[in-house]
A and B are shown apart, each in its own frame.
Chain A
Amino acid sequence: MARAVTSRRKLINTGIAWAIGLLIFFPILWTILTSFKTEAQAIASPPLFINFDWTLENYGVVMERSNYARFLWNSIIIAGGSTILGLIIAVPAAWSMAFVPSKRTKDILLWMLSTKMLPAVGVLYPIYLLFIQLGLLDSRAGLVIVMMLINLPIIIWMLYTYFREIPGEILEAARMDGATLKEELIYILTPMAIPGIASTMLLNFILAWNEAFWTLNLTAVDAAPLTAFIASYSSPEGLFFAKLSAASTMAIAPILILGWFSQKQLVRGLTFGAVK
């Protein structure tokens, strides 16, 4: 919606918008800044903004003491593994529903998507018990599977909405020209589907990276990812403010970067496609 706005007004609005933006971003910014302070500077009064001696000391300490690398590696394996596994299963399913829909397709989608909205506690027992039985507790493989399962409906749904945007006429034209199903898939669909698949991948990676309910419940030491690592800094103690900040910064850095590229996917995915 565009309305005539004077340029002075626009400037003022922009200023206010930035002020609000700064306010919203402040907790994140402050965490990042604090991570570069010494513990004494972190709780100094009055607080120091940027005029302190920047140090990487906290990062060194956190990495050394807490085995940060292992948490990070677990996060990467769990988020990456579940995303790839999920795509392998979801791409054919979404392809089938988008291009060869049957009468039931809408109902199946609705039925699948509805599961994503149910609280995870509803399936916690069975999964927990199954994990004990199969010896999957605190294993990366187990978490990869669980993350894949809980995000599968949203992956299928996202892919479906992206695939639906590929014009069917192109496929028909290719068929008329005598393209086989294989050729159709490889030369026509795949290139057109890649942006949608990439978007879905990004969203799913972020969702899996941030997931905490399952990681807290199903991991202890070996498979614990960064969310569990952060949760271990549970009691505020002035002495460790800078180290907590360094740990948090390391946990959110990948998301701050990925988030930049994925805002559209985030809104689309989290609203179940209501906002494109």
Chain B
Amino acid sequence: MAHTADTDFKTRLQSWLPKLVLSPSLAMVLVFVYGFILFSVYLSFTDSRLLPSYGWVGLENYSKLWRLSHWEISLTNMGIFAALYITICTVLGLSLAIFLDQKIRAEGLIRTIYLYPMALSFIVTGTAWKWFLDPGIGLENVLQTWGWTSFEFDWIKDRDFAIYTVVLAAVWQTSGFVMAMFLAGLRGIDNEILKAAQMDGASNWNLYRRIIIPQLRPAFLSAFVILSHLAIKTFDLVIALTGGGPGRATELPATFMYSYTFTRNQMGIGAASATIMLMTIAAIMIPYLYAELREKK
């Protein structure tokens, strides 16, 4: 009898225990992520300024937001930044991966070095780059004192070029990581196909163009999605590197949202911008994650 009761208990335990231990995590994600996101979205429809207020104003914040030149600048910058950042990282990452795939001595060590920048805080690297790019003490100064007196590199102080210094620092930080993604993709390609193609006399160039690169499609997709969400989330790097300046030359949506909420006390408008960012990321990420997980079933 005791044995049956014990088994009974065990069966019951095994049926409810998994759900029980999963529930705290579910509850936390539900409340603290989705609940809070809904609250932010709700704020974007209210007249909140310094503090949340619950006067419903409909889409007014959104229409105000779209009339702000500050927001327009952030979006233009985002466009420039994202396009360059994603393209350059992909090209560099793929080139480095193809290169490292050529049987190189101490590959593990080199891979780690390429990956290092990604392991560091954007705040630290942003601050370091800020000093390097500073015309007075950084690269410009160094090359000038080495005798190249006409050398000029003051993009970080130039309204028209400052956004490219953000691209430079971000590309430096992420390229090695993208390389690691492509390298994993390259290593996953079936050797037999390559051998067969080589036997048929395919040149190296054709081998890459017709066989290897098309097979890297999933890696391209992952790289694109991950780089785009990193781009939209970019905040720390800009804060450390340029602080959004000179002027508003390097403002991005995340820094825009930050300044509207905390320095201008326009919570409603800030929330509206956050909502737009959330929707953009969701539109890119959710189909991808869905496909990714379905595939692995």
Chain A residues close to B by CB (< 8 Å): 1-3, 5, 9-11, 13-14, 16-18, 20-21, 24-25, 27-28, 30-31, 43, 45-47, 89-90, 92-93, 95-97, 99-100, 102, 106, 108-115, 117-127, 129, 149, 152-153, 156, 180-181, 206, 209-213, 216-217, 227, 230-231, 233-234, 236, 238, 241, 244, 248, 251-252, 255-256, 258-260, 262-263, 266-267, 270-272, 274-276
Contact = CB atoms under 8 A, between A and B. Distances in A.
Top 7 nearest A-B pairs (CB, nearest first) are A45-B145, A92-B21, A210-B121, A96-B18, A259-B119, A100-B18, A126-B36
Contact of A1 (B43, B52, B101, B130): B101
30 contacts: A1-B187, A3-B102, A14-B105, A18-B110, A28-B120, A45-B142, A46-B146, A92-B21, A93-B22, A96-B18, A97-B22, A99-B18, A106-B293, A108-B22, A108-B26, A112-B29, A119-B254, A119-B278, A121-B273, A123-B40, A149-B33, A152-B25, A206-B119, A210-B121, A213-B236, A227-B123, A231-B240, A260-B112, A267-B180, A275-B181
Main SS at interface, chain A: helix
A125 B38 CA distance: 11
B118 A270 contact: yes
B124 A230 contact: yes
A129 B52 contact: yes
Nearest to B98: A1
B113 interface: yes
A236 B124 contact: no
Interface of B: 10, 13-14, 17-19, 21-22, 24-26, 28-29, 32-37, 39-40, 43, 52, 96, 99-107, 110-125, 127-132, 134, 136-138, 141-142, 145-146, 172, 175-177, 180-181, 184-187, 189, 191, 194, 198, 212, 218, 222, 226, 229, 232-233, 235-236, 239-240, 243, 254, 257-258, 261-262, 267, 270-271, 273-275, 277-278, 281-282, 285-286, 289-290, 292-294, 297
Contacts of B114: 20-21, 24
Given A21-B113, A126-B39, A149 B28 contact: yes
Contact of B285 (A21, A114, A259, A274): A114
Most B CB atoms within 10 A — which of A181, A256, A271? Answer: A271
Contact of B118 (A113, A216, A230, A266): A266
Main SS at interface, chain B: helix
B131 A244 contact: yes
A236 B131 contact: yes
Nearest to B273: A121
Contacts of A211: 121
Contacts of B24: 89, 93
B216 to A, nearest CB: 11
Given A27-B128, A96-B18, A122 B28 contact: no
